Structure 1
């Protein structure tokens, strides 16, 4: 081979130096504020796949796990230590908003982060075994009113979380106080349904997405959906609590927040991405495959929803003796 001209050698060296001095942009990061598995993990992985398939993310979104305090560790970390990161998102759900309302995130409140996008919605359900004598929610409420000891609720989580709250709202319809209601918490909804099938608990308060998967076993009967109206798909035949005379709703919104000092341009860039995802049929397919439902809110609507919901949950928390 001949000698490379000096000018070309200099140009190549300059180009190499320029490339070395300009590192590749880091991939966006989605923080799961819990251990792997569960709803927060599902939320990040759904966004990861949807953004990649839609061509909105040059690099696959990285997923990091930051468990602790039912989301408190992640919330405090982003607010205090990583407030301005332009491509860091944290998954949240309505359970996070309940924890905020109950003061479980310490000194920080709903106004201390930027609520950037809603990804999907889910809804609470009340379920029993398929061979249970209770065929409707009215049957279950009547059983609670007659003898609270005969109904042991099971759910993922602990006393005070959103699944406990759903059970407490049902018990309240029977004039059974939250201190009198029997409840046992499990590591997740899957364990609660396993306990239901084994007869260790008599009812489960959970989410529609997890309950729908249990229908295929033939061992579960869903008494009510805690939504404004009936859900499409596998749960279309299940009546709402309102249809049965009980004003109980529990929507579960899944989405993301960002640090409080993220630049407006970066915040709007992410908000626009989630709005475009929501409008596309491809994302609707991915969302439905996870048993989830539309959450038609842009960033401004989500922010308003979060603030209103935290206020409503705070009132419930005071009523049930849970507010700090």
Structure 2
């Protein structure tokens, strides 16, 4: 991976806009007040096929931004599937300095490069805003003798390999790390876990319901209906505080397991964006999240709002990168 930090570090939106006005900058795309605005349709890339989490975020965001009149230009969604996101990231990297091309992102921007499967990593792009997160749930079948997360830990401590745990992502990716990190924090040898990878959370929970595995790790949004219907038991959720969509499910933290994991979702841009361009999009996405339509959609999807501006999002990404390297070392995948 290139690892070159080509982007301009962000500053808070208000400060960036004020500084630009004071400087009397007449850059292309600036309005009469000196603030940058897009001069052509905005393109949001979903680095995957239609229907998945990236596509859902891109289309939900674009629709709300247009319907609420938050942007003067149209917002187009472009799907660039392949390589676990790598094809889409390459497309954005090849459009350095074009502020009209954004992309939606989540933990694979960290995991895929760590696995050596992308020429670009998170440091090659411009963080815009972190928007929302979805926490992981640790599930067992409704008729399982395991009633608590401690029960699962006891089984894993006795013989980690004897307990099969399904996840909807490849070894070394999101679900595996969510399991390994929690197990390690609970005192279990994470390198000995019997993680069974499936192609998506739906397949993982289907295997759980069919009795093919003993437990599963799945996003809250994918597991909510099964939990509410009583088809599975949620032993814990990987948040630091109880989440609104699963108020009766204890967190790992309150159970004494010092580990959190979230499927964060955000927006990034190409390298070499200016501070004024970043400030514009920070403001747009912050306003988007105040819309009732966003709140309704995110609630249905099991998302929790966790807005961060560009600078905080950058720091978050760097912190998570370090954390994931350590976890992957624990399970022998780094």
2:211 is the counterpart of 1:199: yes
TM-fit CA distance, 1:231: 0.7
TM-fit CA distance, 1:173: 5.0
Identify the residue that residue 85 of structure 1 maps to in structure 2.
98
* Equivalent residue in structure 2 for 1:153, among 165, 172, 180: 165
Identify the residue that residue 259 of structure 1 maps to in structure 2.
270
TM-fit CA distance, 1:77: 2.5
TM-fit CA distance, 1:239: 0.3
Give runs of aligned pairs for residues 1-324 of structure 1, distance below 5 A.
26-58=40-72, 60-79=74-93, 81-106=94-119, 108-173=120-185, 175-233=187-245, 235-323=246-334
**For the residues of structure 1 that align with 2:45 and 2:173, how far apart are their CA atoms?**
21
TM-fit CA distance, 1:132: 0.9
The 1:160–1:139 alpha-carbon spacing in structure 2 relative to 1, beyond 3 Å, is same
Deviations 1:226-246 (A, max 9, x none): 01111113x101000122221
**After alignment, is 281-290 or 43-52 more displaced?**
281-290
TM-fit CA distance, 1:191: 1.1
TM-fit CA distance, 1:164: 0.7
Deviations 1:227-280 (A, max 9, x none): 1111113x1010001222211210221011100023433322112101222344
- Whether the 8 Å CA contact 1:102–1:317 is kept in 2: the answer is no
Is the radius of gyration larger for structure 1 or structure 2? 1
- Whether the 8 Å CA contact 2:134–2:303 is kept in 1: the answer is yes
Q: How many residues align?
A: 297
**For the residues of structure 1 that align with 2:230 and 2:330, how far apart are their CA atoms?**
37
TM-fit CA distance, 1:124: 1.5
Deviations 1:270-293 (A, max 9, x none): 121012223444422222122111
**For the residues of structure 1 that align with 2:318 and 2:182, how far apart are their CA atoms?**
25
Deviations 1:166-192 (A, max 9, x none): 122243356543442112211111111
User: CA RMSD for the aligned pairs?
Assistant: 2.1
Unaligned runs of 5+ in 2: 1-38
With structure 2 as the length reference, what TM-score do the two structures score?
0.82
**After alignment, is 156-165 or 212-221 more displaced?**
212-221
TM-fit CA distance, 1:152: 0.8
